[in-house]
A = this chain, B = another copy of it.
Amino acid sequence: MEKEYTIEELVEDFSETAEKVTALLKEKNYTEVKKIATELPAPDIAEIYAEIPIELETLFFRLLPKELAAETFVEMDTDEQRRLIESFTDVQLSEILSELYIDDTVDIIEEMPATIVKRILRYTTKEDRAMINTILHYPKDSADTVMTTEYVRFTAAMTVGEALAHIRRVAIDKETIYTCYVTDKNRHLCGIVTARQLLLSDPETTISDIMDEAVISVNTHDDKEEVALLLERYGFLAMPVVDNENRLVGIITVDDAIEVIKEESEEDFAKMAAITPTDEPYLKTGVMSIFKARVPWLLLLMVSSTVSSAILAGFEAVLPAVLVLFVPMIMGTGGNSGGQSSVTVTRSISLSELEFSDILRVLWKELRVGILCAVALGVVTFAKVQLIDGMLLGNAAIDPTVSFVVALSLSFTIIVAKIIGAALPLVAKKIGLDPAVMASPLITTLVDAISLIIYLVCASNIMNI
Contact = CB atoms under 8 A, between A and B. Distances in A.
Interface stretch (A55-63, A86-94, A154-162, A333-341): A333-341
Contact of A336 (B270, B274, B384): B274
A171 B200 contact: yes
Interface in A342-387: 342-345, 347-348, 351, 353-354, 358, 361-362, 365, 368-369, 372-373, 376-377, 380-381, 384
B414 A298 contact: yes
A336 B441 contact: yes
Interface residues of A, number: 110
A41 interface: yes
Contacts of A273: 272, 339-340, 342-344, 440
Contacts of A257: 258
A263 B344 CA distance: 14
Interface string A197-217: 001100000000000001110
B331 A328 contact: yes
Interface stretch (A23-31, A131-139, A308-316): A308-316
A336 to B, nearest CB: 5
Given A328-B331, A339-B273, A348 B312 contact: no
Interface stretch (A111-119, A140-148, A288-296): A288-296
B255 A232 contact: yes
B200 A275 contact: no
Contacts of A254: 237, 254, 258
A269 to B, nearest CB: 5
B261 A369 contact: no
B445 A290 contact: no
A166 to B, nearest CB: 11
Interface in A321-339: 321, 324-329, 331-333, 336-337, 339
A388 interface: yes
Contacts of A345: 282
> How many copies of the chain does the oligomer comprise?
2
A384 B303 contact: yes
Q: Which of A167, A343, A348 has the most CB atoms of chain B within a 10 A radius of its CB?
A: A343
A53 interface: no
B237 A237 contact: yes
A353 B283 contact: yes
Contact of A384 (B200, B306, B347, B353): B306
A298 B337 contact: yes
Contacts of A305: 328-329, 332-333
A388 B354 CA distance: 41
Interface string A7-26: 10001000000000000000
A77 interface: no
Contact of A302 (B291, B295, B329): B329
A355 to B, nearest CB: 10
A389 B345 CA distance: 35
Contacts of A343: 269-270, 272-273, 275
Q: Which of A232, A340, A448 has the most CB of B within 10 A?
A: A340
A339 B384 CA distance: 27
B354 A282 contact: yes
A312 B39 CA distance: 63
A351 B259 CA distance: 13
A395 interface: yes
A450 interface: no
Contacts of A196: 171, 177-178
B306 A389 contact: yes
Given A40-B214, A195-B195, A282-B344, A332 B272 contact: no
A271 to B, nearest CB: 10
A71 B287 CA distance: 50
A348 to B, nearest CB: 4
Contacts of A299: 376-377, 380
Interface centre among A237, A283, A297, A309 (most CB of B within 10 A): A309
Contacts of A344: 270, 273, 275, 282, 290
12 contacts: A178-B195, A266-B347, A268-B269, A281-B348, A283-B353, A283-B361, A291-B372, A298-B336, A302-B329, A302-B333, A305-B332, A328-B331
Q: 10 nearest interchain CB pairs?
A: A273-B343, A305-B329, A282-B348, A291-B372, A287-B368, A308-B328, A7-B214, A235-B255, A265-B265, A309-B325
